[in-house]
Structure 1
Amino acid sequence: MKLSVSILFVLFSFTLQSQNSLKATLKFPGGEGVKKFEKAEIGVNLPTEIKNQVDAFLGDSTIGINPYDSWAIDLTSEWISPSGKTQKVNGFFYQDYRRKTDKKWSPIQTENNWLLRWSPNEAGDWTIKTTLNTTGKSWVSQPITFSCIEGDSKGYLTVNPAKPNGNKMLYLAESEEPFFALGHNIAHGGHGYVKPIYADHQKQWLTELAESKGNFWRFEFGMNNYLPSGYDCKNYTEKLAPFCDLDDIIDLSDRLDLQFIAFRHHVEMQTGQSWEKVRWDKNGYVQQLKLPKRIDYFTSPEALKWQKNELRYIMARWGYSKSFNFFGYSELEGWVGPLSREEGISEIEALAIFNKWFSDQRSYIENELEMDRMLFANTFSLSRLSDQSRKMSPELRGLYDTFSSSDIVGYHSYGRAKNTNLRTVPKYAKYFKEHWDKPTILEEVGLNLPHMYCATDNNFMTTIWSSSFYGDFGCGMHYWWDRGIHYNNFQKLYEPLSNFMARIDYTKPFENYNDYDKSIKRSRIAYYSTVFPESNEVYGYLTDPSHFWLNMTAENEKLDQYLNDGAMKNPCMMTDGHELGKPLVNENAGNAENEKDAYTDKARVTPMTAENYGSETIKIEGLEKAGLFGKKKSYTIEYYNPRDPLLGVLKTETIKAKRNGSLKLTLDKSNWPAAAFYVKEE
């Protein structure tokens, strides 16, 4: 009898101890081990008394422990690598969901409501020690170990000025090779509040991007989709379902070996009618903290506390991903402009407030969260800058401090005007590199006439090809039209561009040149090039810069309808019900001075002929010059079809350069209206 009582007491004590212990187990992956730079996931069971208090909060947010409040409940871990280095990894609250319909989710039984995620970067045995701290109490789990094995991942992206062209290019951490970005914005899967079907769109588009040899995309942490604070800055429960879809999206990005920028949108500070669902007064911080003014968002201790809490959740849940390389803020003038007007201060003064706030956020991510491999990207829009001025505006110069604390410089430009696309964008790209001496990227670009994308892919093709020779670390990234790009299969144009760019050795010194100095009204060939002076080689792209920069002929029926009637009879219908090419009156098309030229009529495009091209001289700077008495050099030029994945040769010719190194290119209709080209010395 005494023995039975003793056994029962031991069993009771063991059960009680088990219920009040912290237990961590390896959830993913099983089998042979975790591969380098791939996700390892640890499931954690909390002590029963703490779990019950969390459950109480989820039922009634006025009681219990808020699982999203890292000051009330702090689950953290130390990952010890085979070499003895340590990495802090924070835990996060998790609830699993399944699709109920294309518009709704429903919660399902979840094995572990707390997870730890990281991607180990060393092969060998890792040890994980997990700790839980709540008010006045602490628990430590038994250490767990797992093996990390070599894989084929090239790792995450790095900025390394010590590398060849390190002030221009990004590098892959594991392979240490230059990375040239090809892709566009796949910011969200549809307008309005997030739905399960939108995640399907994003996954489909990422798959199609990878199949077309794209490797880079840009993603929005928006108030109406995946930003934790979108509805409530203290309680993320309403976002848990779409978070599960974002888990899948980021895991897919990892498997497809895609890299991405995650950005916060300037509309969080603004009040535009087109952003009714995501504007300032709907901001989760305004709603819950009752912030009276925008300056309180940047300076209030309570707001700053919950902003850090949100950053912690984002980095804990998704910071493991080798695809997740950049975090930043889009179009700074949209963040500081409303602050400037509301406070009656200059934008430079507003930028100083933003700069301090951003620097503190970066320091928190790098030091307290130990995410020092995360890169940061802030961007500016060129829309308010003078197209004609060669000097940057005071507002742009005032961004120096912010860009100095960013790892890359991003810029945005939209416009149908010929001077915007032909001259302004590459001009500023050159300035950014010279002024900040760090990698740059045209993060958003496109016509502000979306209807054109319903008529032709020529502008998309010309944009991605020409911008690949601005000297940025990647091609220009189309924005608003991620749906239109994939709906019309424009993404397939990345494959020939990828195959062409793969021929370029970015470890050798290079410079970039184009013809933005030429008269807009008389330019008949626009060219963009990357010159390697040591080997006397040039890679580039040339195109017909005709009206609307579209390389279009008057025979295009949809374009003809739009230009003459102000509407398309059959707009393209997107999968989320949005019309691309819906009626829009455009009575002034072609009348603006910056849209005119010497050889097209109002709102029309004159097809370019061999005679037109033959009269144009392209001066390729950077090649070796003959000098006054030297022998003129001869060059072989190959022209390639930019639509052909095999880069079929359109024409080969040998040209003797002028003494100043300029080459006069003569093209026939088989090359029209665009061609990639390669120049090498005979």
Structure 2
Amino acid sequence: MRLVVFLLSLLFSNVVTPIVAQEFTDFGYYRVDKHGEPGQIEKYKRLEYAFKLPSVLTTRIDNFFVGAKSGINPFDPEQIDFRVHFYAPNGEKTTCFGFYYQAYKPIVRTAGLAPSNYINEYQSDTTHFPWRVRFAPDQEGTWKLDVEIIQGTNTYQLVKEEKIECIPSNHKGYLAISSTGTEQDRWMYYSETKEPFFAISNNISSGGGCTYLPSQVNRQVKGLRELIEVGGNFTRFELGGQAALPDWPVYDNYSGKMDEMMGFDRLLDECENNGVYFTLFRHHVEVMDLNDWDPCKWSTNPYRIAFDLQSVEEYFTNEEVLKWQRNNLRYLFARWGYSPNMAFYSYSEVDRWYSKMMADSEDGSDFKDGGTKSETEAASILIKWIADQQEYIYSALNKNTLFVHSHATPFSQEMKKEGGFFELSDVVAVHNYGETKDINYKKRYDQIEKYWDKYHKPILLEEMGPSKIAMYCCTGIEYHNSIWSTAMMGDFGTGMDWWWDGGVHDYGYHRDLKPLSQFFQGVNLRGGNYQPQKWEDNELALDGSEFARKNRLIENYALVSKNQESILGWVHNASFYWRNLVPTNSCMSHLVNNTTSESQPCYFAVDKDGFPRDFNQYSCIPRVYNDVYHHEDLTGFENYTDNFSESGGKEILLKDEINFEISGLKKSTMRMFTSKRNWYKIEFYSTVANDNTTLPVAQFTQYLSTTASGKLKPIAPTMNAEHPDYSYKISFLGYKKESEIKP
């Protein structure tokens, strides 16, 4: 907001001299995008122009890059302010900022070369049109645009009232939230079509922790395409200092990041072309010192170095630093934030953003560094900083942007609903890692419900996965169980596993998303006001107790519509989880018994064009692979047993007639008073990726009536090592006699 005020004061406190375009024969521009015929643009699609400025300006910009005093910094709006004003058919005005752009082409060449001579780099390309403007119109009809540049006391009016016609498209608009006070508010929807949005997702967060060279971009794009192939429609991208974050490693000159930014442009293209929405998040490593090998940390923070900041607090409060942080926001929103597909902007794990300010004696001080503040004091500084950034984004950059912030360890104030970070968030984000048998049934489910009850906002389980990822060398059952159970917890999509390049995509586990995507296709969770419930077969055990965990055989998760006529669910033989695979899975047996030397080598994050260096050296260049058994934690796998571990799980057979329960349905009158009852039909579907998952398994279909308390008690299908779980759909058939129901 302060930058907006400054620019307005610059405009109106000085004598502004308008200079029209006709005076500059060397000015030019052209249309870059292909979203419509000449003179047209499809609604919500990218409209992009490239500009060549008059030489009176370009010469001075070129001088900046060679260090001449007469140079104009193209990344400083106080020196040159490029604006395009778009006027909607209804007269509404939107101002977009131009951004400086340098072209690069990726070069990856390994054929015929020794590994030490691999070519994996960006090479500068030529463009005479180094300014870009991107915009996505949201109204059909005739738009007008003006182009102006403010430089000192001069305003260059370069284009006046150019017209372009916005035509219909297949784009569904922005992601939106509601505040109806009902269960509808759990579920997001598309702003244009009003259709419900259910996220099928994984994190495809980063191409690597050290650099962002072409081979890494290729690998990340490949991961995104794999997600799309199985029905994925949502993901998260880290805007990291090692990658496309503009103001690293130089806070006021982004020219050194133009190559990495082109890599991120590719990800944006894939999302826009395939209907994928994403969160763009900033990583707490910017203000922490975690690992010596990590190039992004507080000791290398460009603001700390340039402004000689003595504490992290100054990063959040120094006025000159704040001004350049806004300049960075302005650039990244001009380049990417115009897009409706960029659904959220985020600061990830906020407690680690403020941890360095906290006194070592504070419980939440994960990283001891001599801070002086209590957690409440440290958090309040960050809360104000984020609130100011959000206000600037909303008022000056994109009012349609949603915000989502998360914790590594939840701040105690969040549950008091007294000015915490979730008050700033449009959606509440949950991070919950672990691999215990209870991780889904108890910990994740309960955390999601707790935040829903407190904030009544959509919930996103945006990071999950095992803390011991070596298990992904052996099995994807933990991934499978987690995506299906979290999809039924009342959050607005599947939980997002963090380890896309830590085994999930390496071994094809992500393919389990396809049956899940097909299962939810055409279901209107929002329109039906669906809400979650769970059930376990240890009714006498205290929910979440050790007894319950060790003896739990069946877990059931369900989403029930408000009218009680439609139910979606997932029932699981809980004895089939990763720890109980030891008797039948030699790889897991080696992990549990600490004999991985007898296993086949296991590699994650394979980069076929990377350099063949040892991952353990943490050399900050693309590596061929992560050699899991020589790098990841291999301890502690012998724990996590239950009462079925020695036998490798307990098979459930249909003929055993073991029931599970769904509650809260239409109550049936006792039989002694009437022969009519409330009847439902339940159909079970395979969740195995290579099965036919679109048709119900006929042998398990059942017709059932509810009890007087509104419970339905289906017989569990056969659930064994081959098919340890099934999804199901239940539909209400009516209040009828049994003879009118069963075929």
TM-score by length of 1: 0.90
Measure how far apart 1:435 and its partner are. 0.5
Q: 2:481 aligned with 1:462, yes or no?
A: yes
- Secondary structure class of the residue paired with 2:235: strand
Give me the whole-angstrom Cα distance separating, in 1, the residues matched to 2:353 and 2:655. Answer: 45
**Match for 1:17: what amino acid?**
E
Alpha carbons of 1:585 and 1:532: their partners in 2 closer, same or farther (altered >3 Å)? closer
Per-residue deviation, 1:123: 2.3
Whether 1:70 aligns to 2:57 is no
8 Å CA contact 1:22, 1:139 repeated in 2: no
Task: Show the counterpart of 1:246.
Answer: 264
Checking the alignment, whether the CA contact within 8 Å between 1:97 and 1:106 is kept in structure 2 is yes
Is 1:420 paired with 2:444? no
Does the aligned pair in 2 maintain the 1:182–1:214 contact within 8 Å? yes
Structure 1 range deviating more: 567-576 or 279-288: 567-576
Aligned residue type for 1:28: D
CA distance in 2, matches of 1:15, 1:505: 52
Match of 2:718 in 1: 668
Q: Which amino acid aligns with 2:44?
A: F
Per the alignment, residue 37 of structure 2 pairs with 31
Q: Tell me the CA shift for residue 40 of structure 1.
A: 0.8
**2-structure distance, mates of 1:630, 1:317:** 69
Matched with 1:136 is 153
Q: Which runs of 5+ in 1 are unaligned?
A: 1-13, 386-391
Conservation of the 8 A alpha-carbon contact between 1:459 and 1:550? no
Say if 1:551 and 1:673, in contact at 8 Å, map to a contact too: no
Task: Give 2:685's aligned amino acid.
Answer: Y
In the aligned structure 2, how far is the partner of 1:96 from the partner of 1:309? 21
The separation in 2 between residues aligned to 1:50 and 1:26, in whole angstroms, is 21
1:639 Cα deviation after fit: 1.5
1:625 matched to which residue of 2?
667
SS of alignment partner, residue 538 of structure 1: strand
Instruction: Check if 1:679 corresponds to 2:726.
Output: no
Match of 1:104 in 2: 121
Residue in structure 1 matched with residue 4 of structure 2 by the alignment: none
Partner of 1:544: 573
Q: 1:617 to 1:271 in 2, by over 3 A?
A: farther
Counterpart residue type for residue 375 of structure 1: L
How far, CA to CA, are the matches of 2:554 and 2:638 in structure 1?
19
Query: Counterpart of 2:83 in 1: which secondary structure?
Result: strand
2:404–2:427 contact (8 Å) kept in structure 1: yes
Q: How many Å separate the matches in 2 of 1:554 and 1:274? A: 41
**What percentage of aligned pairs have identical amino acids?**
27
Is residue 2:605 matched to residue 1:574?
yes
Distance, in Å, in 2 between the alignment partners of 1:200 and 1:41 is: 24
1:665, distance to aligned residue in structure 2 (A) = 3.0
Deviation per CA, 1:54-108, whole angstroms, max 9, x where unpaired? 1011122765111111111110110112222211100000001112335211111
- Residue of structure 1 equivalent to 2:55: 48
2:703 aligns with: 654
Alignment-derived partner of residue 645 in structure 2: 600
Aligned to 2:262, what secondary structure does the other structure show?
Answer: helix
Describe how 1:179-258 pairs up with structure 2 within 5 A.
179-258=197-276
Write out per-residue CA displacement over residues 19-38 of structure 1, whole angstroms, 9 at most, x where no aligned residue: 5x765443333734221111
Kindly provide the CA deviation profile for residues 574-624 of structure 1, in whole angstroms up to 9, marking residues without a partner as x.
Answer: 323233642456454344xxx3423324xxx62221269958653323222
Please tell me whether the aligned partners of residues 30 and 51 of structure 2 are also in contact (alpha carbons under 8 angstroms). Answer: yes
Look up the match of 1:260. 278
Q: How much has 1:497 moved relative to structure 2?
A: 0.7
Please tell me whether the aligned partners of residues 528 and 562 of structure 2 are also in contact (alpha carbons under 8 angstroms): no
Q: Is the 8 A contact 2:413 2:419 kept in 1?
A: no
Give the Å deviation of 1:354: 1.1
Secondary structure at the counterpart of residue 524 of structure 2: coil
8 A contact 1:524–1:612 mirrored in 2: no
Aligned residue number for residue 132 of structure 2: 115
Q: Which segment drifts farther, 287-296 or 512-521? A: 512-521
Aligned counterparts of 1:395 and 1:85: Cα–Cα separation in 2: 38
**Residues 464 and 551 from structure 1, CA distance in 2 versus in 1: closer, same or farther, beyond 3 angstroms?**
farther
Moved more, 428-437 or 187-196: 187-196
State the Cα distance separating 1:117 from its structure 2 match. 0.7
What is residue 614 of structure 2 aligned with on the other side? none
Deviations 1:642-681 (A, max 9, x none): 1235334332123454433152533324673111012234
Task: Tell me the amino acid that sits aligned with residue 677 of structure 1.
Answer: Y
Matched with 1:358 is 386
Secondary structure at the aligned position of 2:159 is classed as coil
**RMSD of equivalent CA atoms:** 2.7
Distance 1:354 1:61, change over 3 A: farther
Aligned to 1:4: none
Q: Which of 503, 508, 533 is the equivalent residue of 1:513?
A: 533
Instruction: Give CA-to-partner distance per residue, 1:306-350, whole Å, 9 cap, x none.
Output: 110000001111122221111011111111222223542221222
493 and 672 in structure 1: CA distance in 2 versus 1, 3 angstrom threshold? closer
- Give the secondary-structure state (helix, strand or coil) at the position aligned to 1:268: helix
Deviation sequence 1:366-407 (CA, Å, 0-9, x none): 1122x10011110123xx47xxxxxx9456547753212211
1:136 Cα deviation after fit: 2.4
For the pair 1:610 / 2:616, whether they are aligned, the reply is: no
Q: How far apart, CA to CA, are the structure 1 residues paired with 2:203 and 2:635?
A: 30
Shift of 1:630: 7.1
Cα distance in 2 for partners of 1:306, 1:416 equals: 42
- Runs (5+) with no aligned partner, structure 2: 1-19, 109-118, 360-369, 537-542, 608-623, 734-743
Does the residue aligned with 1:380 lie in a helix, a strand or coil?
Answer: coil
Matched residue type, 1:68 = F
* Residues 438-457 of structure 1 aligned to structure 2 (within 5 Å): 438-457=457-476
Taking structure 1 as reference, are residues 616 and 347 closer, same or farther at Cα in structure 2, changes over 3 Å only?
A: farther
CA distance in 2 between partners of 1:422 and 1:365 (Å): 38
Change (3 A) 1:151 1:288: same
Aligned length: 653
Report the CA distance shift for 1:357/1:637 in structure 2 as closer, same or farther (over 3 A): same
Match of residue 196 from structure 2: 178
* CA distance in structure 2 between the aligned counterparts of 1:313 and 1:455, rounded to whole angstroms: 44
Residue in structure 1 matched with residue 621 of structure 2 by the alignment: none
Equivalent position of 2:587 in the other structure: 558
Separation (CA, whole Å) in 2 of partners of 1:630 and 1:457:
51
Q: How many Å apart are 1:113 and its aligned residue? A: 0.8
1:258-407 matches, cutoff 5 A = 258-273=276-291, 276-341=294-359, 342-369=370-397, 371-381=398-408, 384=409, 393-394=412-413, 397=416, 400-407=419-426
Give me the whole-angstrom Cα distance separating, in 1, the residues matched to 2:22 and 2:66.
Answer: 25
Shift in Å, 1:174 = 1.3
CA 1:348/1:572 → structure 2, altered by over 3 Å: closer, same or farther? same
- Is residue 24–residue 141 contact of structure 1 (8 Å, CA) maintained in 2? no
Q: 1:236 to 1:613 in 2, by over 3 A?
A: farther
Mean alpha-carbon deviation: is it higher for 547-556 or for 218-227? Answer: 547-556
Does the CA contact (< 8 Å) of 1:94 and 1:114 recur in 2?
Answer: yes
